[in-house]
Amino acid sequence: MRDSTPFFAAFGPLLFGKAKKSALHALLQSDRPARSLSQFQEAFGHLIPEALLARRSSGRNSRQRIFTPLITFWAFLAQVLERGSSCRDALLRVRAWASFEGHGQDTASTKTGGYCLARGRLDDDALERIGTHVAEQLQRNTPQSERWKGRTVKIVDGTGVSMPDTAANQKHWPQPKNQKPGCGFPLLKLVGLFCLASGALLHVVHGHWRQHEALLVRRLWQFLGAGDILLADRGFCSFVGLHAILRQGADAVLRLHQARPVDFRRGRRLGRHDRLVTWVKPLQRTKAWSQEEFAALPPTLTLRLLRYQIAVAGFRSSEVVLVTTLLDPTAYPLEDLAELYFQRWSVELHFREIKTLLGMDVLRCLSPEMILKELAMHRIAYNLVRALMQHAAINYRVALPRLSFKGTLDALAHFAQAIHAATGKPRKQAALLDQLLATIAQDLLLERPHRSEPRVKKRRAKNYHLLTKPRRTMKVPAHRNRPKRP
């Protein structure tokens, strides 16, 4: 099938032959490149505010280029959605289409310098605003029936990613001290704020491995709204953290930190394993808090402690103690809060989708500036896929957690090509898009409640020596059964 997309037509004058100056000027000034740049724009174009990617009147991205911010953005997004796609791979597609159009094999350059420079010119603030825009759309489209007791629940958790071992990356995000120089990789720590109902990655902050997640999460409290409920693990449970959440008008359901003693004989009894307690302000100020911030803390906090048992085989914990700011035992009984906290595990699945299925576990850029852009593009790509899943769930009335993220990625990869090939045929494209949503809605995950999936590997690793010195000085000893060279 012949594809008439203007995406490759925009490259034609420079890559496939020199056009007349007037013709080239008319092509770049026209609105053709803004209509269809790639197969993924047909599926996600309505979710991206193109005004944030428009050419500026002055400064960076103001020159008239082939790799405009709009073209570069969609090409970059395709690299993230198609895990493992390199910059050279993106340009090889252009060369393949050049051959298809009859321009010959040697007319399109495979040098990626221009495209890489264009990726570096993408505005960080614009990428951040695009990611936030898509995430907010996901939140707005969440049906009221899917909110917990009519309230928005958000989950916070942290993870780590690695990147190429370059001097610039090591300077910003140094490797752990227990790794020898030249034998490790820079490590970046992330803390993300997710929406429980939609799975959207609302906001993310980052730091180096020495920074504790409890310090990084302080930059996320500003994004909590009045009436929100925050779910988090024990690592985020602290006096100052609970005060910051309450100050935003939100509530929290946290697992009690293991260092804080538990005594259910104290406090006012609200029910079986349910107590109203008072926490006292810490006596000493830590280095993370200024004198003014520490002085602004209240002397006490009234909280609620709950305890329940887990009788499911395979779970590491048999008893869980929660602390919450939801003090009404009638409106928020223990059973409901225990069921809500059990859903906190979904954040682990979301990080797995981003890191494993979208390839964010090991980033590929060589400079800190490009690493931040790569992180922003992964956030955008993840939220766009979640938006597609949400659309399918609402249209076909299926539960969003039953839809497969991997199945959605696979369906998108194939249907996007067909939708793109139908450019100029709106009815055909609408039918294909509806078929894509139907395919996503039919690919349901099996219901396996309380399943046990230990984090272990069955397949053994290859018997290679570990890198204990820089590669240029490493000498691998010969195997004892290997014959010596004469």
Sheet holding 201-208, edge to edge: 201-208, 187-195, 153-162, 229-232, 251-255, 319-324, 300-309, 274-280, 268-271
Place of tokens 């209509």: 35
Token reading at 455? 């984090």
3-state secondary structure of 243: helix
- Please list the pLDDT of the chain residue by residue as tens digits (486 residues): 444 444 333 333 333 344 333 333 333 343 333 334 467 877 787 888 878 887 776 667 667 666 788 888 888 998 899 887 888 887 766 555 545 444 444 434 568 888 889 899 999 999 999 999 999 999 999 999 899 999 999 999 999 999 999 999 999 999 988 888 888 899 999 999 999 999 999 999 999 888 888 889 999 999 999 999 999 999 999 999 999 999 999 999 999 998 888 888 888 999 899 999 999 998 888 877 888 888 889 999 999 999 998 876 655 667 899 999 999 999 999 999 999 999 998 999 999 999 999 999 999 999 999 999 999 999 999 999 999 999 999 999 999 999 999 999 999 988 988 887 787 788 998 899 999 999 999 999 887 776 666 778 888 888 788 888 888 888 877 765 555 555
Closest CA to 307 of 267, 263, 343, 357: 263
Rounded CA-CA distance 313/456 in Å is 17
Backbone angles phi, psi at 306, to 5 degrees: -135, 150
Q: How far apart are the first and last CA of the chain?
A: 61
Backbone angles phi, psi at 274, to 5 degrees: -145, 115
Rounded CA-CA distance 193/347 in Å is 9
What radius of gyration, in Å, describes the C-alpha atoms of the chain?
26
Place of tokens 């922003």: 376
CATH 3.90.350.10 in the chain: give the residue spans. 141-356
Backbone angles phi, psi at 147, to 5 degrees: -85, 150
Helices and strands in the chain: count of H runs, count of E runs: 17, 9
Token reading at 473? 């000085």
Note the CATH number of domain 141-356. Answer: 3.90.350.10
Contact 387, 436 (CB under 8 A): no
DSSP state of 417: H
Rounded CA-CA distance 394/409 in Å is 18
- What pLDDT shows up at residue 34? 35
